[in-house]
Structure 1
């Protein structure tokens, strides 16, 4: 394998070193994926009845990915991820039909962190496992209610670092609007600490739309592992983000979550959560959700699952329903396989 002369300027760009080095690059590329499918039964007052359907990606989003690293030596690597989402019940591409809708980025990694360029996960979504016992999945999915302006952003530049339990990331996505650099752009970041039984994170996400309105989501949350039981808690401020997740000037919604996961033997886990939402602008527009879930691992790669949630809206609230004041029940069960 050919040896490459790496100059100081290249390493400075990656924040990864200070001296020219001579290395023999070694590439490591792997493929991976998830296939997840199940049956869901939804009883939603706005449906005038109930519906039973086959759902895809209930526990984990279906994906087919390629990731890799090329080691240049001296702690410096080129890294990339290309990840395509799909629906297992129909076989079509997810994320609006994008080829690599889940992730598509390349960057440089080293002792002082990693720089990534491309389509990436936003900070709140990427840290959901820290504060949500359902980890943005199953019927207890907190993302359906926390409204933090999207899961992923295009045209993103990010810098991340992790050492001795401390971790963090800064993100900026270019809106690419002619004459208005701020329009359609996103600024985000998080700081976290993970050591021993404690894992906490503070995230902030700021998105501008083409109309010039700004949505801001700030969340603090974490978990503590007591052994058989792990406790979760989170609190979020959403400014300029309405109940349906759209950006609108003046909106102000707060969200709180408490929950636990409990291990049953070596192969089973029970999850329980309670979410409360307060609209600080619209009266009688609060809502709450109670959820319970169960996962049984058949192996390290395959699991069976089931979950149920009940969402209650006040008279002026319309979370997950078409008309204010209605309730929603969701039950699902299925199988997930990783490869």
Structure 2
């Protein structure tokens, strides 16, 4: 009897130890604001919108320590509209992210529905607006945010250098190139300087052509001011080329206040010359560590029939001028 009691006690201790090495975090963003849009073909629009500064979301992140420095993590993230309660990403349960990742001294290997290296470079380094508000860089730059059926490997950081490589399976019978995605980025980060080179290629459904984007990004922190520069060269599936350039800054003001601004130039290299320019200004005021107020203005000047629109983090927009005012809570 004593032997069985001791065995049960030992099993309980082992179970408690395993639980102590595992964790589950529930997190999210609740973002709602007023959006005014002008310059659209159907006229001006005034609306209450969700995901203006950051897309509203509810996520679950789990972690288990497997020993010897190896960690298993998973992320399941749902997008929703706080103004209507409806699901985003065409109603997908975890349409923002769904992945498993093994990480250790040799780097991180993940599989699932994931952000692309190109998007992460644009969002995390290039864009002062972090692809949100009326100044959103994805109003003009490529908007491939995430891809299904991907395998991704991120190297450890060595002497400031790291790399991110991603392959998205097209999963089409008879030809692996159909609907395939290939993306990669190389980063150098040391002190106040960050430089990233990112590239992506997407094959069409018949594997007869592909689009591609290559972007070089630089970010430098001068005390309370952070400068952002980016240049992208694009080619669509028809072989048409264009260039996108961004210059912007973020200024940390007194307290928890930030001023952000950017200017984007889209140069169409085809004979159509469908150029566009976007200028944007934003301001955020922190009410607490998790909650802030925001205001932003963005305007796009289209030329020769270009159709770029001023959107937000979760909405592509309907006009060439956008004004935002809202609140964001991170939990």
Give the alignment's TM-score, normalised by structure 1.
0.87
Tell me, yes or no, if the aligned pair for 1:308 and 1:332 is still in contact at 8 Å. Answer: yes
Write the deviation string for residues 48-105 of structure 1: whole angstroms up to 9, x where unpaired.
x311011111111111111121101110111111111111111111111100001000
Query: Which is worse superposed, 281-290 or 103-112?
Result: 281-290
Alignment partners' CA distance in 2, 1:83 and 1:44 = 34
Superposition deviation, residue 2 in structure 1: 8.8
Alignment partners' CA distance in 1, 2:76 and 2:168 = 18
Query: Paired residues, what number?
Result: 308
Match of 2:71 among 71, 74, 77: 77
Instruction: Name the structure with the higher strand share.
Output: 1
Which aligned segments of 4 or more residues in structure 1 are displaced greater than 6 angstroms? 1-4
Tell me the residue number matched to 2:188.
193
Alignment partners' CA distance in 1, 2:230 and 2:215 = 7
Tell me the residue number matched to 1:145.
140
Give the alignment's TM-score, normalised by structure 2.
0.89
Secondary structure of the structure 2 residue equivalent to 1:250: coil
Tell me, yes or no, if the aligned pair for 1:2 and 1:24 is still in contact at 8 Å. Answer: no
Structure 2 residue 232 is matched with structure 1 residue 236: yes
Task: Supply the RMSD in Å over aligned alpha carbons.
Answer: 1.9
Q: 1:314 to 1:227 in 2, by over 3 A?
A: same
Write the deviation string for residues 209-250 of structure 1: whole angstroms up to 9, x where unpaired.
20332110111112100012111000001111xxxxxxx311
Match of 1:108 among 102, 108, 111: 102
Query: Which is worse superposed, 91-100 or 25-34?
Result: 25-34
Write the deviation string for residues 195-219 of structure 1: whole angstroms up to 9, x where unpaired.
2111121111111120332110111
Tell me the residue number matched to 2:276.
287
Larger RCO (alpha carbons 8 Å, 6+ apart): 2
Structure 2 residue 212 is matched with structure 1 residue 216: yes
Tell me, yes or no, if the aligned pair for 2:105 and 2:156 is still in contact at 8 Å. Answer: no
Alignment partners' CA distance in 1, 2:156 and 2:296 = 34
Tell me the residue number matched to 1:67.
61
Write the deviation string for residues 233-279 of structure 1: whole angstroms up to 9, x where unpaired.
00001111xxxxxxx31121110000111111121001110000011
Tell me, yes or no, if the aligned pair for 1:313 and 1:327 is still in contact at 8 Å. Answer: no
Alignment partners' CA distance in 2, 1:208 and 1:131 = 25
Secondary structure of the structure 1 residue equivalent to 2:171: coil
Tell me the residue number matched to 2:166.
171
Match of 2:46 among 52, 57, 68: 52
Write the deviation string for residues 13-36 of structure 1: whole angstroms up to 9, x where unpaired.
xxxxxxxxxx96821111100000
The gaps in structure 2 that reach 5 residues or longer are 1-10, 311-317
